[in-house]
Amino acid sequence: MPPTAKTVPRHIAIIMDGNGRWAKTRGLPRIKGHEAGAQAVRECVEGCGDLKVQYLTLYAFSAENWQRPKSEVFALMRLLENFLKEKTPELVEKNVRLQAIGRLTDLPQSSQKQLHKTIEQTAGNNGLTLILALSYGGRLEIIDGIKSLLRAVELGHIDKGMIDVEMFSKHLYTRYYPDPDLLIRTSGEMRLSNFLLWQLSYTEMYVTPKLWPDFTKKDLFAAVEEFGQRQRRYGAVE
């Protein structure tokens, strides 16, 4: 059953960690861990739909992941394409709108094509917005945001004296979405791994030792239940 907590996060972000370790403990190739992780994505999307969460951002492929063996990167891109192709009808049925952030032009052409196709086919949905972070890096996003601001100043669209936190946020990949309220990280690691460094300034964190393929809807509900018991002060006194 979904949690009864009155406070449900508007936006949940997840670092889906542990696919490789999950496969290794079972004597399986790493790609089998990623395939199992895709099922956990489905569970999480369903759970967010049950909770009426408005935004879900998944750290699907980091900019650093390009350094992995070419065979694994190729397999991951193919998995991404197949996942989108197979799940698009389900996303439409469940009223889920797909979006993506990151340096998307770094993706193979076939992956970009399928990604844009799914985005277009779900554009009319108004339920959960599922955001995939692909070829994404928090530091790269900040650099790209600075370059975007500089271009705007050079073109005379804004004056440099106008630059503040709100203005800078409008030049990030995430400018159309609210900052996450809750960050979930699986596999027990206590780090951000270059994910949404600007946006997570006041986000509540929830870390579980479970590996991502073992993360279920029940685990999502547990994280949201704990979130609902926290007090968010944003630096103010109680």
Q: Whole-prediction pTM value? A: 0.94
Amino acid identity, residue 87? K
Taken in order 189, 191, 194, 199, the sign of the CA dihedral is: positive
Q: Which CATH number fits domain 11-136+179-227: 1.20.1560.10, 3.40.50.1820, 2.60.40.10, 3.40.1180.10?
A: 3.40.1180.10
pLDDT at 237: 54
Q: For this structure, is 144 an active site residue?
A: no
**Which tokens is 141 given?**
């996003």
pLDDT at 4: 62
| In the chain, domain spans | 11-136+179-227
pLDDT at 231: 81
Can you tell me the distance from the alpha carbon of 8 to that of 219, in angstroms, rounded to the nearest whole number? Answer: 15
Q: Which of 17, 19, 181, 219 is catalytic?
A: 17
Residue 203's nearest CA partner among 189, 221, 223 is 223
Please list the ranges in the chain whose pLDDT falls under 70. Answer: 1, 3-6, 234-238
Taken in order 211, 212, 215, 221, the sign of the CA dihedral is: positive
pLDDT at 232: 75
The three state secondary structure string of 35-69 is HHHHHHHHHHHHHHHHHCCCEEEEEEEEHHHHHCC
pLDDT at 192: 97
Can you tell me the distance from the alpha carbon of 120 to that of 98, in angstroms, rounded to the nearest whole number? Answer: 8
pLDDT at 97: 98
**Which tokens is 68 given?**
């992995």
Q: Which of 19, 50, 65, 106 is catalytic?
A: 65
Q: For this structure, is 17 an active site residue?
A: yes
Strand pairing category for 129-136 and 55-62? parallel
Q: Tell me how far CA of residue 69 lies from CA of 38, 74, 77, 104, in angstroms.
A: 20, 9, 13, 20
